[in-house]
Amino acid sequence: MASKVEKLFEALPGPGSIEDLGLLIDTIRDVFGVLHVVYLAVSLGQSYSVASSPGAGKLRGVDGSWWRHTGKLGAGTYSTEWGERYAEADYARIDPVIEGAIRSFMPIDWKNLDWSTAARKRFLREAIECGIGNQGYTIPIRGPNGQFAVFVINENCNDDQWARFIEEHASQLLVVAHFFHQKVIEVERLFGPTVQPKLSSRETDVLKLIAIGKSRAQVAHELQISENTLRVYLDSARHKLSALNITHAATIAVTKGIITL
């Protein structure tokens, strides 16, 4: 069975603008088969400016929407109504999911959060009215200069089904969450033109050998490293190249002239 990340890679819309990011988030939702997927950049750090226009309001993808309000950027399959309501009411202030994500780097199951205050109960009621599901999983993402974003998967199902879903997909969701954040930075050119990722010679070596079709076992043997060590080197390269998987990483590396075949 192909992993969800592989399926996403095949269906990747190739984002070039913020409208495409709305489409990308739709694709992620469909591939993982969940109710909602949402990305919210709570803080983009110091001295950023966004490339797209308009400067405020919402832009729609196909189903997914993209919104911006007082320095916060978001994309998601939540209804536009909820996105706007969230921004207007500045719910990021009281949202226990945001609070939890700020405190730690560990992904959060919404069940483990404190929903007991009056303001949070009201917030929750409104969320449900706007079609939010009963289960949630939030991945905090941090980057240089105080960048802080969250990536959310939301679904309607019982606790056992949800636990199984998370157990099966936790690693893939981590990869996709960071990938999406990197796409936002890239598409919006938040920190100027994208800089060439810096890969060590070891990373370019392993990527090149994989790209020319050698198996992992062959590469590990050739470089006299274990397959787990190889996995770690490849995964570091994948992350730095903002790629979803190793095939994707190799393609990006060739396109950018980081490796030549």
Partner 1 sequence: MIKIVHAADLYRRPVLAASMFRDRALQFKDRLQWGAIETDDMGLEFDQYDELNPIYVIIEDENGQHACSARLLPTTGRTMLREHFSDLTGGVDISSPLIWEVTRLCLAPKEADGISPRRAPAALFWAGCDLALRSGVEFFVAVYFSHMQRVWKMGGFAPEVLGTRDTPDGEICCGLWEITPAFRDMLAERSGLAGRNALQYFPSEARFPAAPRFPADVTVSRLATAA
Positions in the binding site for partner 1 (CB under 8 A): 33-35, 102-107, 111-116, 124, 128, 133-134, 142, 155-158, 161-162, 165-167, 169-175, 177-178, 198, 200-203, 226, 228-229, 231-233, 235-236, 238-240
With b for 16 or more beta-carbon neighbours within 10 A and e for fewer, the 134-148 pattern comes to ebbbbbbbebeeebb
Contact of 243 with 5, CB cutoff 8 Å: no
Closer residue to partner 1 in complex, CB, 17/204: 204
Closer residue to partner 1 in complex, CB, 60/256: 256
Shortest reach from residue 139's CB to partner 1, in Å: 8
Which of these, 179, 82, 187, 177, lies nearest to 138 by C-alpha position?
177
Shortest reach from residue 199's CB to partner 1, in Å: 9
- Which letter does DSSP use for residue 192 in this model? B
Closer residue to partner 1 in complex, CB, 54/144: 144
Shortest reach from residue 21's CB to partner 1, in Å: 19
Closer residue to partner 1 in complex, CB, 50/163: 163
CA dist., res. 137 & res. 197, Å (int): 30
Contact of 20 with 260, CB cutoff 8 Å: no
**Which amino acid appears at position 120 of this protein?**
R
Shortest reach from residue 18's CB to partner 1, in Å: 23
